[in-house]
Amino acid sequence: MLCAGVALAAFAYTSVASAEENVEVLHWWTSGGEAAALNTLKETLAKQGVNWTDMPVAGGAGTNAMTVLKARVTAGNPPTAVQLLGFDIRDWAQTGTLADLSSLAKEQGWDKLIWPATKQFSTYDGKWIAVPVNVHSSNWVWISKAAMDKIGLAKPPANWDELIAALELAKKAGIVPLAHGGQPWQDTTIFENVVLSTGGLDFYRKALIELDPKALGSDTMKTVFDRMTALKGYFDPNFSGRDWNLASAMVIKGDALMQVMGDWAKGEFVNAKQVPQKDFLCIRFPGTQGEVLNTGDQFSMFKSNDPAVQDAERKLALAIMDPQFQITFNKIKGSIPARMDIPDTQFDDCAKKAIADMKEATANNAVQGSLAHGHAATAAIKNAIFDVVTRQLNGQLTSHAAVAELVSAVASAK
Ligand code: GAL
């Protein structure tokens, strides 16, 4: 009986391993840096005999990808795995369609390995339902060294006044001061930085995490919108609709002085063979040093009864959590490992700073979720705020009106 059981198990394993294993992965990593990083995952799986069916849905921050995902699942045809952000993971977990990875997590000791800000979204109802591949943050500014030299900017700005002074210098020298892509999530990436810098950490928490109507409707928020208008004065005339990586390219070429963007932008600089300190600088958005607006990518798998699919999902999860893989991938992606046990030695100066900042901010309770990247509030609230921020930035609302709209938009999306 025992022998038969063992033989059966061996047969089952062989049949799983020899069958063509495949993962279909839905993601939005289509820029040069993103695609290069993703390739390292495809290659890792190929070495284990797992075939990769790519399902890219272009569009930064995953807005388009989420629409396609819903359509696929509604049609009864989910992918094997999907790239998800923060609150979207929770939303999907609630539908009961995600695979439970708890036994693998237990076996591998994931509980002790992942940054707390990340882990809170990897689990739902006590179960592991997502595997984190990285930690990104959105309060960064990317500055061209060539442009700095050209306009005579000696050091990067450390506060709001210095930021405006630097942008003015670029404007006078005929260089685009602030490279920006006018899309709601990019507008809101700048907005959340201005909220944090203008109001500080407690204000950010009250306004964008706790969604307190008093904070949302405050004079401080009006100042934030005024500052958004001030920054818009430093965009070039063609900013509308531009993809984020094309804005990064303007800084890489030295055609623009700076971009406010999460550290996936560094993936574009690295992909263009540029080096931190020499070709570009990475600084925290002026006035936010010591604080981290946290985001990061996780992969969730969909439930399947097929042992070959389950085996492929297990291999995908193990590959993502492999320490060497997390080093290789994150060096290219611009992010830092989701695992806290990986030393910073193999990383460049920007990633070393990102790791040090994350440690410091975690210890000081100064990590807050990025709203633009789904780590502060549900998709419904995020989208309601996107709408107000973009309308105000495009001159359809005064700062005064935007504050009132923000309060009512959040209230009705709650
Ligand atoms: C973020 C994501 C990053 C990067 C960026 C631009 O939401 O976490 O990995 O891809 O969007 O697409």
Residue-wise pLDDT tens digits, 59-91: 999 999 999 999 999 999 999 999 999 999 999
| Rounded average pLDDT over 177-192 | 98
Q: What is the CATH number of domain 4-137+295-358?
A: 3.40.190.10
Q: Say yes or no to pLDDT of 19 above 70.
A: no
Residue 309 confidence (pLDDT)? 95
Q: Are 66 and 28 in contact (CB under 8 A)?
A: no
Summarize pLDDT for 300-320 with one digit per residue, the tens. 999 999 999 999 999 999 999
pLDDT tier for residue 20 given thresholds of 50, 70 and 90: confident
Beta carbon of 266 within 6 Å of any ligand 1 atom: no
Q: Are 126 and 158 in contact (CB under 8 A)?
A: no
Rounded to whole angstroms, how far apart are CA atoms 237 and 178?
Answer: 11
Measured from the Cα of 372, ligand 1's closest atom is 7
Q: Say yes or no to pLDDT of 11 above 60.
A: no
Measured from the Cα of 295, ligand 1's closest atom is 8
Q: Could you tell me what percentage of the chain is helix, strand and coil, using 3-state DSSP and rounding each to the nearest 5?
A: 55, 15, 30
| Strand arrangement, sheet containing 136-137 | 136-137, 292-295, 367-369
Q: What percentage of the chain exceeds 70 in pLDDT?
A: 95
Select from 28, 29, 89, 183 the residue to mutate for testing ligand 1; criterion: most ligand atoms less than 8 Å from CB.
28
Beta carbon of 62 within 6 Å of any ligand 1 atom: yes
Beta carbon of 184 within 6 Å of any ligand 1 atom: no
Beta carbon of 295 within 6 Å of any ligand 1 atom: yes
Region of 85 (left: φ > 0; alpha: ψ -120 to 50; beta: rest) is: beta
Q: What percentage of the chain exceeds 90 in pLDDT?
A: 95
Ligand 1, atom 5: closest residue by C-alpha: 61
Q: Say yes or no to pLDDT of 137 above 90.
A: yes
Rounded to whole angstroms, how far apart are CA atoms 82 and 179?
Answer: 30
What one-character DSSP code corresponds to residue 47? H
Residue 313 confidence (pLDDT)? 97
Given this chain, do its domains 4-137+295-358 and 144-293+368-413 carry the same CATH topology?
A: yes
At the second CATH level, the architecture of 144-293+368-413 is 3-Layer(aba) Sandwich (3.40)
Summarize pLDDT for 196-208 with one digit per residue, the tens. 999 999 999 999 9
Q: Where are the domains of the chain?
A: 4-137+295-358, 144-293+368-413
| Rounded average pLDDT over 136-148 | 98
| Rounded average pLDDT over 338-350 | 98
Rounded to whole angstroms, how far apart are CA atoms 300 and 49?
Answer: 21
Measured from the Cα of 59, ligand 1's closest atom is 12
